[in-house]
Amino acid sequence: MTTLLVPLTDILTDADNPLDLTALPTDEAIRVLKETYAFLPGTVQVTIEDGVASISFGDDVDASGTEIGDSGAAEQAQRLTEQAQRKIEQASGLAKRGKLRQAIPLFQEGLKVLPDHADGRRELAMALMHTGSPNAAKGHLIRVLQLKPESAWAHLILGNIYFQFEQDLGSAERYYQAAYDLDPTDVYLLSSFGTLKAQRSDWAAAEELLTAAIEADKSYPNPRHALALAYFRQDKIEDSLNTVEALFEIADGNDPSQQTVLTQARQLYLDLNTEIAENRFPGMIERLEQAMADYEADHGYPIQLEEDANLTKGTCTAELAWVYNRPHHLIRYQPADRARLGHLIASRLESIQMITLARDAETYKLFTTTADQRKQVQKSFASDFKRLEKRGPSKAEIERIANNMIYGLTNQLFNNPLDMILDQRIYAKYPELRQSQFVSMTLSQQEGLHVLHSEEIRGMAPRKIYQANVAMNCATAHFMDDLFGQRTNYAAAYQKSGMQSVGLTLYKLWQKAVPTLTPGDEFALVDAFAKQLKLTNWYTWQSEEDSPSRTPQPTVGPTPPSDPISQTTSGADGPTNPELLEAKEPATVMYLLDALRTFENMDLAQVNAITQEVALIGMNGLDYASNEKQYVLKTLPDDRYTGLQLMAYMHVGLKIVEPDIDSGMPFEEAYEAALKIHRYG
């Protein structure tokens, strides 16, 4: 017989409604105990003396219920016991390797023979809890505590079930406290108990427990996350940031058991950086203004900052002095998204610096496309776009989508390697902006993941366009993961994309080129990306002298991973305020009419030259909100033009030179009205 001696006060009969056995008559208490321990083998015998229960069981029958009366039966019972022990050990090994569903039936088979195996039952309970069966786990834990009331781990796991699955904080605290009384040094208990205290806003107790957990095991990330979250909820932002930073330093990104806490820590890190970037925005602007003053001292051009509420949220544009015939560069920004703005402005500033250095070194080149290239590219996808008709879009809508896809990918090809150069420089040059940079780059990565996971985009975009888009987004994901360490893990999302190897190849091309870059070498990096993606025939390079205008291509950075379908174009980025354009329709009609009259007596070559020059300027953004005549054209040098006027010239020019191409501007109704006036007076 096996005998357990257990104080009545330690015996758990029901986890939800504990029963005080000491308050019952002895006979009633014995009856309850026999029912409670009925799962044990053999006849259960119970006596109670001085508040201690003596529970005897086993040895008179084997596991199948057969009485043991000779050596053969005893040997059989021994074999069954040994087999059961091996099954429990095998199950334990599987559970430790994370193969919980394979371990569970082995635990159950072993426990049929050895129902009083407390450790095996505890491990089974953990496996059941982690596979989504907390109620079954609870039943096994009650039996563990009936067998071993001193099992701190059984109390801990019961506490976890009440905390994590049932949100019963009172019951959870009761079991955590029982576990703490038994073993106040266990790191997992300290972490769980501290997390619960924080949930109940008992900050002092939470910090004490979580700090003790960190000291007990500095390699365990969970208490650091819980402490960082507790600081965040108390608005102790710097303490929270420092704590989560420390978590990333010690966490093992290859450990499957740490992936959940790392995911939670990354979200907290984004929230912290967002709040810090918003709060530090004035200081970031001061730092950038100093950098602009340094640029002026080195290159002679002032840089002005200007808020522009007409821009799309999260938008920042750069207008170069020599393009707009001004004595200064102008950076316009939409003021709504303060968390990103420091990074967006820094990107425009550094892109101006990059262009200036290339121009000074006489290595600057214009990235552009010819009409023939655009036609050839569009022709190569004719069958892909033909298939879109089955989805229901009109011919005009399909044409718009096709143009936008091609334009979007061409724009992404130019910006992708250059944006990474800019972000590397910003990270090194402006440590004060790192919170803003992290927020801005994270939002861009999330847009890239939307493209990756969107079945609609995958189904509509031609395979080559989609794959090239995903490959460049993947390269940027690798770049961000390297820049910020374990604070991000975006490249992992591309492992099953089919373009992981291409994306990694692009990133390695970039890594190899960057250490020895001199002004103008960035354009060779664009060529290297184009060669890898088989896009070399999509664009051409021009020197500023060979261009119809000395207009550079759009200042780069930061360009979010583009959506190959929804990208729209009005110049570079499309109309950012369609409502404003609608309000300006009367003026648009007159500008379109002026364009029709201007082009009426010109040959196609002249019209094409003007249209191309406007398109080049438009790649850098056209300010159609302003009535200021701020633009000049080399092909029409006798006047100055508003942004809306140039948009009208480009729309009409395309109608004449390439009538099958959609300008991307919502001018059709206004154009029809202007055409009637032009024809019939």
What's the residue count for the chain?
681
| Domain 64-164 in this protein, CATH class | mainly alpha
Secondary-structure percent of the chain, ordered helix, strand, coil, rounded to 5: 65, 5, 30
Q: Do 201 and 182 touch, CB atoms closer than 8 A?
A: no
6 or 234, which is more confident?
Answer: 234
H or E element that contains 542:
strand 540-542
Determine if the peptide bond prior to 558 is cis (ω within 30°).
yes
pLDDT value at residue 182 = 94
With 50 as the cut, is the pLDDT of residue 484 above it? yes
Q: How many beta carbons lie within 10 A of that of residue 484, not counting itself?
A: 20
Give residue 456's Cα distance to chain centre. Answer: 20
Burial class of residue 41, CB neighbours in 10 A (0-12, 13-18, 19+): buried
pLDDT value at residue 387 = 80
Residue 32 tokens, joined? 């309850």
**CA-CA-CA-CA dihedral for 50, 55, 59, 63, to nearest 10:** 180
Which tens digits make up the pLDDT trace of 14-71?
777 788 888 888 888 888 888 888 888 778 888 888 888 888 887 654 444 455 555 6
Of 15-24, 392-401, 605-614, minimum mean pLDDT range: 392-401
With 70 as the cut, is the pLDDT of residue 74 above it? no
Which residues 6+ apart lie within 8 Å of 189 measured at CB? Answer: 152, 156, 176, 179, 180, 183
Helices (H), 11-70: 26-36
Half-sphere exposure of residue 681: CA atoms within 13 angstroms, side-chain side? 0
Q: Please, which pLDDT band fits residue 265 given cuts at 50, 70 and 90?
A: very high
Q: Do 587 and 580 touch, CB atoms closer than 8 A?
A: no
273 or 337, which is more confident?
Answer: 273
Of 158-162, 454-458, 488-492, 593-597, minimum mean pLDDT range: 454-458
pLDDT value at residue 301 = 95
Q: Strand, coil or helix: what is 113? A: helix
Which residues 6+ apart lie within 8 Å of 536 measured at CB? Answer: 527, 530
With 90 as the cut, is the pLDDT of residue 398 above it? no
Q: Do 357 and 523 touch, CB atoms closer than 8 A?
A: no
Which tens digits make up the pLDDT trace of 117-165?
889 989 999 999 989 899 999 889 988 888 888 899 999 999 999 999 9
Which residues 6+ apart lie within 8 Å of 97 measured at CB? Answer: none
CA distances from 479 to 322, 431, 441, 488, 491 (A): 33, 18, 11, 10, 9
Domains of the chain, by residue range, sit at: 2-57, 64-164, 363-542, 578-680
